[in-house]
Chains A and B, each alone.
Chain A
């Protein structure tokens, strides 16, 4: 039961991070390896805004720092796109390398200004509840509904708004989109901003739950990357399913074995999928 609850709540955060990663790949054909960094910045910005701008105020201040953090991360992502990626956006290799360089830069920056130790932010809710006899922290319980809400909002946006439709159009046929007057560049910028916002939301949610250190980006990047490929690169539903799958496997092995083995098993599963089913568990391209 505990596995189920933890698996669901962690899985929903994984999904938030991975969906953005996949979306950017579908639309731009690029892998943004600074995606984990954007997640991390979400947590750091929350910490910065809450402690220094809103003076560690009450719930309202915390909510305000969440919103500001998400907006800031989107702006950072836009800057990243316009300043660094756009120069050679057609080369998947260039974007991977330059985004990694950016990730390393941010890591060092954070180490210098915030130290290697972790930063904590108080949670929106305190206490814990009993769910089917399992005692769960309230802040852990909060993850699933907020993440699900964001994912549903994303789905509605893609499905029903004109901007969302243009994202889907570019992902499915870049040339077709150009020929009806869509500018793929602008759509990609918008997509990157949205993906960054989702990653930042995950970061802010996690900031009160686990410790955030300057090196945490690589852990989340590998997670997002692996989920994206297990779900079949380019498929959003696939990414969501894979996110929950991965989190269940991790939590279950952590409970039965140890922490170290939990991650090892997750990694081995990724290897197996890469080798035996490289197109992912859901191979059709769906955005």
Chain B
């Protein structure tokens, strides 16, 4: 059998396995969003759901690398930002349709991810964290410096949306999220995920057993960056504008906090936490002025009560069925 065919077959088997392992709750949530999109015309609800889906995309793409390799990327906004801006520029200046900009900008983010992954290989712990922070900071500085291209503080507005209606936009986003989560689950359940997990404790041991850990880490970076890039492009085409906030440190930090609160190394944990927290944040609008304080306070409390995240909390270890329903089958 030829090599591409073999890879395709393996990927198909992985996806099939990921579908079987998928969490029921996630499927219900996706179905719920689809039904809402088809039935509701409440603009406000739909916008919030779009935002929730985007954050789910961000946190899961963070988790697929960092949750498994147990390294903290504090610069995920690098990938969301680069992809969002590329999508915006392609759409605005070349009038490219979103169907082209999403894959192109995500691929560009993945390429950037491979480069950074390769550069960051030797670094771990604090060094790795600083490198990711600094890269994201460099990117946002560049955005200010080349403001004739990026619009500087204002960003770029007037980007085409996926479709003419918010309902369809939401459907597109949730479909992209669903496919992304499937692919990431397949990746995490493959030997790639397993080896990334093994590097978190002892890279030397993994090396000694003949595994080229470098290859797997760089690949993990590429995958994480790709799906973060999908999220960034999603943002551009639903909000119809991008601003430096899409590459800001605060976005990176928020993604890390939501993913960690959800439970690293589970993909679905971060997804559910991001969804729930985004909705919670919107619900808090009833007490508008104290909203950010309560929201960040809640994050602290969650991380304090579940230091390894909700999905990794001990009561789920004792309730395997519940765990299966919420977070999918174990690797």
Contact = CB atoms under 8 A, between A and B. Distances in A.
Contact of B141 (A84, A233, A260): A260
A98 interface: yes
Contact of B131 (A103, A218, A271): A271
Interface string A72-92: 000000000000100110011
Helix, strand, loop or mixed for chain B's interface? helix
Interface stretch (A12-20, A107-115, A158-166): A107-115
A242 interface: no
B295 interface: yes
**Most B C-beta atoms less than 10 A away, residue of A96, A97, A98, A215:** A97
Interface of B: 70, 72, 74, 119, 122-123, 125-127, 129-131, 133-135, 137-138, 141-142, 144-145, 249-250, 253-254, 256-257, 260, 289-290, 292-293, 295-297, 299-300, 303-304, 307
A278 B124 CA distance: 10
Interface residues of A, number: 41
Given A101-B257, A261-B145, A274-B130, A268 B138 contact: yes
A96 B145 CA distance: 30
B253 A100 contact: yes
B134 A92 contact: no
Contacts, number: 105
Contacts of A274: 123, 127, 130-131, 134
Contacts of A87: 304, 307
B307 A94 contact: yes
A70 interface: no
Contacts of A92: 125-126
Contact of B138 (A94, A109, A264): A264
9 pairs of A and B residues whose beta carbons are closest in the complex: A108-B292, A105-B296, A101-B300, A264-B141, A104-B296, A88-B307, A101-B299, A97-B260, A267-B138
A25 B130 CA distance: 14
B126 A31 contact: yes
Given A267-B134, A271-B135, A104 B119 contact: no
**Most B C-beta atoms less than 10 A away, residue of A93, A111, A222, A263:** A93
A164 B160 CA distance: 62
Interface string A26-41: 0000010000000000
A169 interface: no
Contact of A111 (B119, B126, B145, B292): B292
A12 B72 CA distance: 30
B292 A229 contact: no
A226 B130 contact: yes
Contacts of B141: 260, 263-264, 267
A229 B133 CA distance: 13
A225 interface: yes
A270 interface: yes
Contacts of B304: 84, 87, 98
